[in-house]
Structure 1
C-alpha cells in the first residue's frame, strides 16, 4: 500500500514537473503571448481588461513562471505533495486498519471468528468515520455512512470472490 501511494504521488509530481518545463519553454519562446494569456486569466476572474493586463505585467516583472504555475496551472510550491510522507501515512493507516479485523481472529470457534471479524471491522469502520469527520470538520453522519458503506461493499465483494473460488481466509 505504501509503495503504491509513493508511486501515485511521485507520478503526480512528475506530471507537475513536466508542466513546469513546458511553461518555461513557452515563456522563453513567446513571452508576450504568455503575458496575454495571463491577462486573459485575470480578466476571466472578473478584473477589467486594463487592470487584468496591469496585474499580468506586474506578475511577469516579478516572477512570470510562478504566476503561470499558480494562476494557469494551479500549482503552489507549498502545497506540493510529498511522496515519502504519503507513503508513511499509508503504511501506518494500513497497519492500524489491518489490526482491527485481526482482533476478531481470537474468537474461540471458526464460525465465531468469521462473525467477530465482520462485526469488529464494521465497528472499526464506524469509528474511522467518526474520527475522520471530526478531524476534517465534516458532517459526522454522512462521512461515517460513506466509510461504512464503502467498507461493507469492499468486504462483501471480497467474501463473494472467496465463495466463488471456494477459498476462505479463515
Structure 2
C-alpha cells in the first residue's frame, strides 16, 4: 500500500501542532465542546495506536476490531498527555506512531488490506460507522479524513 498520503497527513498535523505551540496558543481554551491542542494530539495518538493494533492483528492473522470510543474519553486523553510528558511529548509520540504505522502498512498484501474489521466510529456522541470495514479503508480514512480534520482543528486554535 502506498503510504505517501498517510505520511503527508501526519506531517501536516505535526506542522500545525508545532505552529500552535510556537504561537503560544496550545493551552488556549477551545470553543465550547472542542479540544485543546494536547487533547487533540492525545486523541490522534490513541487513534494511531488503535490503527497500529488493527494492522498488526491483520498481518498476524488474528481477529481484530476497531473502536474509537476510548480515544474520545476526556480522562483518557488527559492521562495519555500526562504519560507522554505534555504536548511536546505527544507530538513526538504521534510522529513515531505515524512512522511505525506507515512501516507496518506498506508491506501488507491485498488480502490483508481487504481484511474486514468490525468497526465502531463515533464523533461527538454520534455513530458514524458501525459495520465491518476493510482494513485499507480504515487506513485511508485516517489519511484522508481523520488527520486532516484534526489538522484544521489545531489551526483553529490560532488567534
After TM superposition, the score normalised by the length of structure 1 is 0.30
Indicate the structure with greater helix content: 1
Instruction: Determine which structure has greater relative contact order: mean sequence separation of CA pairs < 8 Å that are 6+ residues apart, divided by chain length.
Output: 2
Indicate the structure with greater strand content: 2
After TM superposition, the score normalised by the length of structure 2 is 0.32
Bigger radius of gyration, 1 or 2?
Answer: 1
